[in-house]
Amino acid sequence: MEDLCPPLCHELWNVIYPYVFALQNGGNLDCGNIKVKSFDAVCPDGARVSIHGEVIESETSDSMSGGKAMYCENCCILFAENRCPVCGNKKVRIPEPDDYCFLTEKEMIWAGMLEDVLKQNGIPFFTKQMLGAGLALKIGPMSERCRFYVPYSHFQEADELVEALFAPVQEEGKETDPEE
């Protein structure tokens, strides 16, 4: 659904836009008791036009922006471009299932909680402390940050857990970040 600019009347566009937006952003739509990646709509102007929209997933598509995920061996990150956005490395490749990929970086207070959740869900991981033991002791352990890496084969599941665990909490119209 890239560059969706057909010659539609504004009434029909106003009907289908929420569906298109949800599907473009990876959502599913309610259809009775099930969730689907498609919709049907009719023009409110006399129902002269009907439209069916659905997500067509190719076998080569991946979780990274609908395209292939690429992997940088230097930075251990996933991205959608042909060049690493961190180090500029052009020698990138499609990730292997056992490649450890950067998942997130958290303060130590949150790192312990994330470690427990990953263990409970059977997701292998390793962590890397950013300051190191000596500097963390000198300036205080609460200043330490921890980076998490998971195998590519578990990346999507781990990323969903991180999103659910650290999603902003909404209180009466305000968004708050759990790390604040």
Asked whether the beta carbons of 69 and 93 are under 8 A apart, the reply is no
d(CA 28, CA 19): 9
What's the pLDDT score for residue 83? 85
What's the pLDDT score for residue 129? 81
Residue 33, Cβ density class (10 Å: 0-12 exposed, 13-18 middle, ≥19 buried): exposed
Q: How far is CA 180 from CA 69, 109, 143, 149, 177, in A?
A: 31, 12, 14, 23, 6
Alpha helices per DSSP H over 44-177: 108-120, 133-139, 152-165
d(CA 103, CA 166): 13
Q: Which residues of 151-176 are buried (b: 16+ CB within 10 A; e: fewer)?
A: bbebbeebbebbeeebeeeeeeeeee
What's the pLDDT score for residue 145? 82
pTM: 0.55
Domains and CATH numbers, the chain: 10-54 (no CATH), 70-169 (3.30.70)
d(CA 38, CA 139): 53
Element containing residue 35 per DSSP (H, E): strand 34-36
Please give the chain's pLDDT, 180 residues, in tens: 444 445 567 677 777 778 777 777 777 777 666 777 787 887 777 767 778 888 765 433 344 444 578 999 988 999 888 888 888 888 899 999 999 999 998 888 888 899 999 999 999 999 988 765 554 455 555 567 889 999 999 999 999 999 988 877 666 655 555 555
List the structure tokens of 42.
Answer: 């009719």
What's the pLDDT score for residue 43? 78
d(CA 167, CA 104): 13
What's the pLDDT score for residue 141? 54
Asked whether the beta carbons of 168 and 175 are under 8 A apart, the reply is yes
Q: How far is CA 122 from CA 53, 109, 118, 136, 148, in A?
A: 37, 21, 6, 29, 15
